[in-house]
């Protein structure tokens, strides 16, 4: 349907500006536990925040960052992206992950492997950002059982310039319906 970037966010009080996929893996696996281990002058314990197992965000992070290894027991697994964002906003020691639509004031998105996620969508659109992804809509059945109105809507959402504007306003990056 469209493109998204899974941004790694810290609290604005954290001076860190860049993190690698490997460092992120090690934080969420409990191998790195102090900000000084990744070059931040905070020198405090890292409070990793993430999603619970019931979402696509978690599954993407599990595959793209954790290599399908389970997160450590110190990861605060929350039930919604908005809760992850709020936890990072409130805790100077936190790190969390959320899509482009959640990149608002009160968060500091980190560069990942030197490439920015947000607010710039340029690195996500050509899939240069390491945690960029397509978001898909999956329908049950073989397609012939889907209501024709739904199929028309999906086709419109994928190709219409107007739908592309709506996707952009919502925080996504149109993949097929360029302005």
- The model's pLDDT over 115-135, given as tens digits with 9 standing for 90+, comes to 988 655 666 666 788 988 877
pLDDT at 33 exceeding the cut of 60? yes
What is the reported pTM?
Answer: 0.82
Q: What is the pLDDT of residue 157?
A: 78
Q: What is the pLDDT of residue 85?
A: 96
Which of 105, 90, 117, 107 has the alpha carbon at shortest distance from 21?
Answer: 117
Which carries the bigger pLDDT value, residue 88 or residue 135? 88
Mean pLDDT confidence for 39-44? 92
For CATH 3.40.190.10, the residue range(s) in the chain are: 2-134
Residue 78 · residue 98 · CB < 8 Å: no
pLDDT at 142 exceeding the cut of 80? no
Q: Cα angle vertex 79, ends 40, 37, to 5°?
A: 15
For 63, the 3-state DSSP assignment is helix
Q: Are strands 2-10 and 47-51 parallel, antiparallel or unpaired?
A: unpaired
pLDDT at 164 exceeding the cut of 90? no
Architecture of domain 2-134: 3-Layer(aba) Sandwich (3.40)
pLDDT at 113 exceeding the cut of 70? yes
Q: What is the pLDDT of residue 140?
A: 64
């Amino acid at each position: 349907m469209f493109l998204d970037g899974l941004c790694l966010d810290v609290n604005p009080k954290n001076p860190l500006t860049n993190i690698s996929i490997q460092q992120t893996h090690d934080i969420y696996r409990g191998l790195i536990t102090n900000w000084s281990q990744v070059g931040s002058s905070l020198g405090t314990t890292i409070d990793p925040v993430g999603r619970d197992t019931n979402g696509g965000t978690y599954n993407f992070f599990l595959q793209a960052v954790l290599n399908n290894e389970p997160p450590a027991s110190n990861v605060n697994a929350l039930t919604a992206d908005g809760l992850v964002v709020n936890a990072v906003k409130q805790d100077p020691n936190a790190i969390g992950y959320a899509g482009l639509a959640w990149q608002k004031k009160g968060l500091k998105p980190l560069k990942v492997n030197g490439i920015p996620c947000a607010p710039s969508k340029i690195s996500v659109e050509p899939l240069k950002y390491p945690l960029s992804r397509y978001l898909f809509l999956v329908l049950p059945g073989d397609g012939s059982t889907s209501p024709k109105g739904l199929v028309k809507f999906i086709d419109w959402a994928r190709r219409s310039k107007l739908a592309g504007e709506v996707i952009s306003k919502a925080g996504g990056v149109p993949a097929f319906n360029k302005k």
